[in-house]
């Protein structure tokens, strides 16, 4: 199935949660969905007979624009050999997304990374901590307005 | 005897006895520099070159360098790679566990000064010498095995010229 | 007899530990010798790749890409180049494609050699390590002649290559392949079919295929579980669709499908397949061609985003790149294969012995540079 058909199918099942479909070249087509229902949609995508997206290739966090963050899910299906991109956009003031780590185990670490570097909070995640940076680190480095701290544990950070 | 001669050409040997006369400093230094045990410890890409240096082609063992897994057995540590802030405290701890005399080779640009990560590396320590003293810096990204060997020889030179006696007197 | 009271202990393994292949730390919860729970703690080599990528122009990112998976730099560069080229719609000359494939496959062999050699070390055999490094040095020599570097090459550029190959490149590579083929057999005699080694690795750390897919593993770790999936075949990039090679999958020859021995063996036979690809590529490679012909003067991709994935020795390396039309990317996210493979470690190692944990960890062949980026 191509992304457009999947979009129509999703729209019929989740009329409120599926927000938009974008397909302007050279961007790969993607579907925008709501942050509150992403887990249900993902479960549906994984288990529906003719979708079967059983593989989460990648989950990226993006500093979308001045007020919004985004999470991008790249899905793949071993069974049907098709791909799908999903985007979730959340405001910087309240960056909360439902976790999908119960759907795909991969998401567990990817979500922790997204939290660590971008500060997106994944709701109901089983083990929600920083992953790469130390626990007592300040700030989220990949945000565009990030200012590096002067000292960490008595060690000077900038050159 | 051949080996001792290398230590000092003016060494005195007596005809009938099994003994030689040399200075304490020279003897200690000779013993130290010819069996520097290194702590097995890889950090990043440079560690791969360090492994290659100790494997078949370049062979560290000829300089008496044998990897030891524990810092308490080691005389020398090669900081081979990028030191991040999260790792830095651990390295300090490892360094503190090593018995004196201890020597440090900083291998690669990253541990010398931050290397390619000096500008935007918010999580990279810009130079291992900010936390522990360094004896020899080996430049390169990564240094070739020959360069690392050169660094080891430089360290041996350094050890050859140090003096336990003077240090204690001062 | 009265019941003995037992309690679990928590043990810390790493970050300085000879068998964690770098600076990985594992928190183990143990019941005697039995591992109840493993928690990998990563980030000791977090070098801020993604932040760097945002501050660099597209060609400047290539050296940092090298340093991600430093055992397979060529494959990383290829992945990045493919992603950016797809984004800007650059078509590279035929000759460049062939050289890229040859380099990538040579690097795959070199990387697998390190993986197999150090795996021997983990299981307690020192000699295979030395044997593997002899052959690896030969590959590095070829790289060195071509581009001057032994480990981090900056060779595959967006749209081309940094240097053309030397006149005797073909002979050198063919000679290597000829010498290397019998060495695989030697390695098999030395390690793979060694009784002690099989006892150590077979039936250890079994990863069933459904679990492997759900956990997002890829590369030899996934194929070791019997899933026939290789991006070179299933989602071809560059010119991999022109070559005839087999996808190696684990078949549980010595124990269960998906055990450590299977994962190990997939790598061994993949080296053979890589040799096949190299031979075919050398044969078909056009003699003429300028390797820098298609390198754009300024790389300014159109506004857009792309997720491109390629197969490195460790699995699916994905680059998610967002461009806003300037010559600096807005976001480059690298999906490291070892990152996802490592996250499956707790699933593989529940209920194993501590000594087995080392073997399991070795069998997924992690490179910390790529896990932490
Ligand atoms: S100096 Fe270069 S090769 Fe060495 S660790 Fe740093 S980036 Fe890697």
Per-residue pLDDT of C56-100, as tens digits, reads 888 888 888 888 888 888 899 899 998 888 888 888 888 888 888
Interchain proximity C15–B49, CB inside 8 Å: no
Q: Are strands C315-323 and C156-157 parallel, antiparallel or unpaired?
A: unpaired
pLDDT of residue B4: 61
The mean pLDDT value for A89-115 works out to 87
Checking if the pLDDT of C111 tops 60, the result is: yes
Domain that holds residue A112: 3-156
Confidence of residue A85 (pLDDT cuts 50, 70, 90): confident
Per-residue pLDDT of B69-85, as tens digits, reads 888 888 888 888 888 88
Neighbours of A, requiring at least 3 CB pairs below 8 Å, are: B, C
**Half-sphere exposure of residue B51: CA atoms within 13 angstroms, side-chain side:** 27
pLDDT of residue B10: 62
Mutation test of the interface with chain A: which of C333, C334, C344, C347, choosing the one with the most A Cβ atoms within 10 A? C333
- Name the residue at shortest CA distance from atom 8 of ligand 1: B45
Q: What is the ipTM of this complex?
A: 0.89
Q: Measured between CA atoms, how close is C6 to chain A, in angstroms? A: 27
Checking if the pLDDT of C128 tops 60, the result is: yes
A58 phi/psi in degrees, rounded to 5: -155, 145
What separation in angstroms does the CA of A3 have from each of A11, A33, A59?
Answer: 12, 14, 18
Interchain proximity A62–C322, CB inside 8 Å: yes
Distance separating alpha carbons of residues C228 and C247, to the nearest angstrom: 7
Q: What percent of chain A has pLDDT over 90?
A: 0
Q: Is C139 near chain A, with CB under 8 Å?
A: no
3-state DSSP assignment of residue C69: coil
Checking if the pLDDT of C224 tops 80, the result is: yes
Q: Is C237 near chain A, with CB under 8 Å?
A: no
Distance separating alpha carbons of residues C365 and C114, to the nearest angstrom: 9
pLDDT of residue C186: 87
What separation in angstroms does the CA of B128 have from each of B85, C368, C370?
Answer: 10, 19, 22
Distance separating alpha carbons of residues B64 and B104, to the nearest angstrom: 16
Distance separating alpha carbons of residues B162 and B26, to the nearest angstrom: 9
Q: Find the C247 Cα to ligand 1 centroid distance in Å.
A: 34
Contact between residue A96 and residue A35 where contact means Cβ atoms under 8 Å apart: yes
Q: What is the CATH number of the domain that holds A138?
A: 3.30.460.80
Interchain proximity B119–A159, CB inside 8 Å: yes
Q: Find the B153 Cα to ligand 1 centroid distance in Å.
A: 21
Nearest to B149 by CA among B50, B73, B41: B50
Residue located via tokens 């049907």: A80
Which atom in ligand 1 lies closest to the alpha carbon of residue B82?
5
Contact between residue B98 and residue B127 where contact means Cβ atoms under 8 Å apart: no
Nearest CB among A132, A148, A153 relative to B89 is that of A153
Interchain proximity C67–B87, CB inside 8 Å: no
Residue located via tokens 């290659």: B52
Q: Would the CA dihedral through C33, C38, C41, C45 be positive or negative?
A: positive
pLDDT of residue A25: 67
Contact between residue C294 and residue C158 where contact means Cβ atoms under 8 Å apart: no
Would you state the structure tokens that stand for residue A27, as one six-digit string? Answer: 């961007």
Q: Find the A141 Cα to ligand 1 centroid distance in Å.
A: 22
- Report whether residue C52 contacts ligand 1, using a CB cutoff of 6 Å: no
The mean pLDDT value for B19-48 works out to 83
pLDDT of residue A11: 81
* Averaged confidence pLDDT in chain C: 86
CATH topology assigned to domain C9-372: Cytochrome-c3 Hydrogenase; chain B (1.10.645)
Would you state the structure tokens that stand for residue C195, as one six-digit string? Answer: 């009784």
Q: What percent of chain C has pLDDT over 70?
A: 99
Q: Residue A140: closest CA among chain B residues belongs to which residue?
A: B122
Q: What percent of chain B has pLDDT over 70?
A: 88
- Is pLDDT larger for residue B3 or for residue A129? A129
Contact between residue B53 and residue B20 where contact means Cβ atoms under 8 Å apart: no
pLDDT of residue B137: 92
| Residues pairing with A85 in the sheet | A74
Nearest CB among A141, A155, A159 relative to B85 is that of A155
For chain A, what is the domain count?
1
Q: Which residues lie below 8 Å from residue C15, measured CB to CB, with a gap of 6+?
A: B87, B90, C23, C24, C25, C44
Contact between residue C152 and residue B141 where contact means Cβ atoms under 8 Å apart: yes
Mutate-to-test residue for ligand 1 from B41, B43, B46, highest number of ligand atoms within 8 A of CB = B46
pLDDT of residue B8: 60
Interchain proximity B85–A134, CB inside 8 Å: yes
Per-residue pLDDT of C267-325, as tens digits, reads 999 889 899 999 888 888 888 877 777 777 788 888 888 888 898 888 888 899 888 88
DSSP A126: T
Per-residue pLDDT of C175-196, as tens digits, reads 999 998 888 888 888 888 888 8
Domain boundaries, chain C: 9-372
Distance separating alpha carbons of residues B37 and B57, to the nearest angstrom: 20
Nearest to C221 by CA among C315, C95, C157: C315
Interchain proximity C150–B119, CB inside 8 Å: no
Nearest to B51 by CA among C114, C267, C192, A99: C114
- Report whether residue B151 contacts ligand 1, using a CB cutoff of 6 Å: no
Per-residue pLDDT of C225-262, as tens digits, reads 888 888 888 888 888 888 888 888 888 888 888 888 88
Q: Are strands A96-98 and A121-123 parallel, antiparallel or unpaired?
A: parallel
- Report whether residue C17 contacts ligand 1, using a CB cutoff of 6 Å: no
Checking if the pLDDT of B12 tops 80, the result is: no
Q: Is A26 near chain C, with CB under 8 Å?
A: yes
**Half-sphere exposure of residue B100: CA atoms within 13 angstroms, side-chain side:** 1
Q: Measured between CA atoms, how close is A139 to chain B, in angstroms? A: 11
Distance separating alpha carbons of residues C276 and B145, to the nearest angstrom: 31
């Amino acid at each position: 199935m191509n992304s457009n058909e999947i979009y129509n199918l999703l729209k019929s099942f989740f009329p409120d949660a599926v927000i938009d479909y974008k397909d302007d070249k050279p961007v790969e087509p993607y579907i925008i969905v709501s942050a509150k229902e992403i887990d249900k949609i993902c479960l549906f995508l994984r288990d529906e007979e003719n979708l079967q997206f059983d593989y989460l290739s990648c989950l990226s966090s993006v500093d979308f624009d001045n007020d919004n963050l985004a999470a991008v899910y790249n899905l793949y299906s071993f069974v049907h050999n098709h791909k799908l991109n999903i985007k979730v956009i959340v405001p910087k003031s309240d960056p909360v997304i439902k976790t999908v780590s119960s759907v795909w185990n991969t998401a567990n670490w990817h979500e922790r990374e997204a939290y660590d570097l971008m500060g997106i909070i994944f709701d109901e995640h089983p083990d929600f901590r920083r992953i790469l940076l130390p626990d007592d680190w300040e700030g989220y480095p990949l945000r565009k307005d990030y200012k590096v701290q002067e000292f960490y544990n008595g060690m000077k950070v900038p050159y | 005897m051949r080996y001792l001669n290398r230590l000092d050409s003016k060494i005195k040997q007596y005809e009938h006895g099994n003994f030689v006369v040399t200075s304490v400093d020279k003897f200690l230094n000779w013993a130290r520099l010819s069996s520097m045990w290194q702590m097995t410890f890889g950090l990043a890409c440079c560690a791969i070159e360090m492994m290659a240096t100790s494997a078949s082609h370049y062979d560290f063992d000829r300089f008496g360098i044998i990897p030891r897994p524990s810092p308490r057995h080691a005389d020398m540590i090669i900081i081979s790679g990028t030191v991040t802030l999260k790792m830095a405290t651990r390295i300090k701890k490892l360094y503190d566990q090593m018995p004196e005399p201890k020597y440090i080779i900083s291998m690669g640009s990253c541990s010398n000064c931050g290397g390619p990560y000096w500008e935007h590396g918010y999580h990279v320590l810009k130079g291992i010498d900010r936390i522990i003293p360094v004896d020899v810096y080996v430049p390169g990204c990564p240094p070739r095995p020959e360069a690392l060997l050169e660094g080891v020889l430089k360290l041996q030179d350094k050890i050859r010229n140090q003096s336990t006696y003077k240090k204690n007197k001062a | 007899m009265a019941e003995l009271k037992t309690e679990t202990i928590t043990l810390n393994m790493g970050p300085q530990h000879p068998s964690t292949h770098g600076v990985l730390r594992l928190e183990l919860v143990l019941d005697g010798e039995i591992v109840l729970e493993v928690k990998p703690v990563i980030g000791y080599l977090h070098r801020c790749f993604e932040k760097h990528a945002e501050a660099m122009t597209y060609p400047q990112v290539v050296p940092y890409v090298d340093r991600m998976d430093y055992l397979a730099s060529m494959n990383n560069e290829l992945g990045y180049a493919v992603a950016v080229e797809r984004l800007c719609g650059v078509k590279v000359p035929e000759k460049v494609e062939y050289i890229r494939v040859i380099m990538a496959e040579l690097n795959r062999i070199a990387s697998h050699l390190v993986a197999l050699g150090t795996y021997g070390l983990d299981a307690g055999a020192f000699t295979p390590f030395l044997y593997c490094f002899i052959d690896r040095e030969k590959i590095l020599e070829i790289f060195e002649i071509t581009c001057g570097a032994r480990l981090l090459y900056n060779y595959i550029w967006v749209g081309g290559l940094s240097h053309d190959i030397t006149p005797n490149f073909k002979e050198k590579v063919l000679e290597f392949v000829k010498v290397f083929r019998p060495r695989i057999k030697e390695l098999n005699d030395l390690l793979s079919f060694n009784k002690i080694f099989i006892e150590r690795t077979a039936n250890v750390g079994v990863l069933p295929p459904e679990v492997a897919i759900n956990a997002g593993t890829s590369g030899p770790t996934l194929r070791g579980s019997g899933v026939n999936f290789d991006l070179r075949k299933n989602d071809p990039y560059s010119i991999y669709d022109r070559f005839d090679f087999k996808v190696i999958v684990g078949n549980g020859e010595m124990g269960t499908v998906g055990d450590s021995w299977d994962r190990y063996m997939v790598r061994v036979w993949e080296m053979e397949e890589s040799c096949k690809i190299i031979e075919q590529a050398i044969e078909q490679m056009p003699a003429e061609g300028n390797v820098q012909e298609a390198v754009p003067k300024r790389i300014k991709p159109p506004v857009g985003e792309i997720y491109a994935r390629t197969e490195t020795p460790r699995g699916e390396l994905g680059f998610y790149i967002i461009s806003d039309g300037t010559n600096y990317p807005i976001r480059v996210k690298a999906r490291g294969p070892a990152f996802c493979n490592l996250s499956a470690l707790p699933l593989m190692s529940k209920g194993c012995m501590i000594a087995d944990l080392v073997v399991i960890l070795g069998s997924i062949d992690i490179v910390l540079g790529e896990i932490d980026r």
